[in-house]
Amino acid sequence: MNRNWDKTPTFVSNMTKGTVATIFFFFLFIHSFAQKTIVISPPKGLPVSSDCKSAIQLSSTRKVSYGPTVPPKGFGKVMDIKACDKQDIFTFEKERNTAWYSFVTQEEGDLIMEIISVNPKNDYDFMLFKWTDTCFCDNVKQGYLLPVRTNLSHSESKQGVPATGLSAKAGENHVPVGVGKEFSSSLPVRKGEKYYLVVDNVNPKGQGHTIKMYYLKEISVSGTVIDDHKNPVAGAIVWVENANENIVDVTKCDEAGKYFLSAKIKEDEYYSLLYTSDSSFIECRQIILNEFAKTNYVQKDIKTVLPKLERGKKYILEGISYNTNTGRLHPGSFPTLNALTRLMMKNKSLKVQIEGHVNNPNVAANTGEDKILGQKRANEIYDYLLYKGVANTRIVPTSFGSLFMIYERPSNQTQVDANNRIEIFFLPDK
């Protein structure tokens, strides 16, 4: 029998190839899996400190924004907050996942704060302490100090909306455990005071957060409202409103047309002072906080004329501004447009022509780029009114370019702004 021992039987060869392939892919899988488990990306975000003595120092500017942070993990090297009764309104039940911050107030005013969770389903609590001395952290640990503000309630925020914090509209300094108000009341502070903030994410596998702080400044205004015949407008409404349609404060004129109003406003928002009555057009003044600062945030004896509302008459729409050389509305214009919307919605039979005017001392005409720019500006007002619910059959946007400039040769910014205007023409009855 002639046997060729050098040749491997076919079935043995195939089995060996299959086994080798299996082993090869097995090791390839293990190698790939090992690589995936070994390479772990660090969490993205600004650092946090879970201990009082190593608290993160927040910015020493008037407006603070810190975050998004990495997720707080545990209570750090030292448990600074003692476990307590669940009904205690001054402290956490226990430290879970904390982050400590310190800051020095840069303004006198009302401190407001927003704690915005990266994951809106995370439940963040906070405690705010006023710093005492170099033994502060030890005193907190021993339970000798009470926070000036707390919020221990449970509430879920929406994406990008603060989960908790301090608000001028809130009424409680300390909100207890359980389902409750998201915000505690704002804190009156003086410049140069030092505070410590500790936030606690109750969720065991939670995510980070952003801390934002602002100062509210209280302004006071008083004056007299008259009509275009110099008669007092009794019952005229005066109010302060921001670009988000939040009315901060409102008052009514007495029989002599006199009023007094105070409002707390944020430096980084746009606010307007508005006037109206049942039979008049609206008047609007944009609030420039730097100007109020020159008079210690008090302005007196403001005289305001509310012209009678009549069909067939034109009115300059004050408080309207645009981004330079564009038809895009500036956010500071929104309070005026909101007031115009209310006027239109209250007087359902009124129809208006929105007239865009442009400043161009070189050419007084309604042609070319001036006509286009004036039309863009009028269209912006038209679109805003439509968005607010005013029927398109009641609004006609048009342009007059630079044809009717109030100042043919403007010599300052006030005169330039007067040329760049919107006029409202209340169409007469047919």
Domain segments of the chain: what residues?
A: 52-207, 216-309, 311-430
| Euclidean distance between CA atoms 17 and 24, whole angstroms | 10
Asked, as a colleague might, if the bond just before 68 is cis with ω within 30 of 0, I would say yes
Nearest by Cα to 264 from 62, 107, 110, 63 = 110
The conformation of residue 347, written as its DSSP 8-state character, comes to S
Tokens of 388: 């607010």
Q: How many CA atoms lie within 13 A of 117 on its CB side?
A: 25
Tokens of 14: 């195939």
The conformation of residue 79, written as its DSSP 8-state character, comes to -
| CATH 3.30.1330.60, applies to 311-430 | yes
Tokens of 146: 């009470």
Backbone angles phi, psi at 370, to 5 degrees: -65, -45
Tokens of 341: 């919307």
Give residue 376's Cα distance to chain centre. Answer: 27
Collapsing DSSP to helix, strand or coil, 114 comes out as strand
**Cβ-contact 58, 214 below 8 angstroms:** no
| Euclidean distance between CA atoms 324 and 335, whole angstroms | 20
Neighbours of 99 (CB within 10 A): 30
Between the CA of residue 199 and those of 47, 98, 151, 155, 368, what are the distances in Å?
14, 6, 10, 15, 58
| Euclidean distance between CA atoms 91 and 85, whole angstroms | 9
Q: What is the pTM of this model?
A: 0.72
Between the CA of residue 23 and those of 18, 27, 28, what are the distances in Å?
9, 6, 8
Ordered alpha helix ranges (H), 319-367: 334-346
Tokens 């392939």 sit at which residue?
A: 21
**Cβ-contact 288, 294 below 8 angstroms:** no
Collapsing DSSP to helix, strand or coil, 189 comes out as strand
Tokens 């210690």 sit at which residue?
A: 296
| CATH class belonging to 216-309 | mainly beta
Tokens 């060869």 sit at which residue?
A: 13
| Euclidean distance between CA atoms 138 and 147, whole angstroms | 14
Ordered alpha helix ranges (H), 299-425: 334-346, 368-387, 413-419
**Cβ-contact 400, 370 below 8 angstroms:** no
Give, for all 430 residues of the chain, the pLDDT tens digit.
Answer: 443 334 333 333 444 445 444 444 444 444 454 444 444 455 689 999 999 999 999 987 778 999 999 999 999 999 998 877 666 788 898 889 999 999 999 988 899 999 999 998 899 999 999 999 999 999 999 989 999 999 998 766 555 566 899 998 898 999 988 888 899 999 999 999 999 999 999 988 899 999 999 999 899 999 999 999 999 999 999 999 998 888 999 999 999 999 999 999 987 788 999 999 988 999 999 998 888 889 999 999 999 999 999 999 999 999 998 877 677 898 889 999 999 999 999 999 999 999 999 999 988 899 999 999 999 999 999 999 999 999 999 999 999 999 999 999 999 998 998 999 999 999 998 6
Ordered alpha helix ranges (H), 39-95: none
Tokens of 234: 């009794």
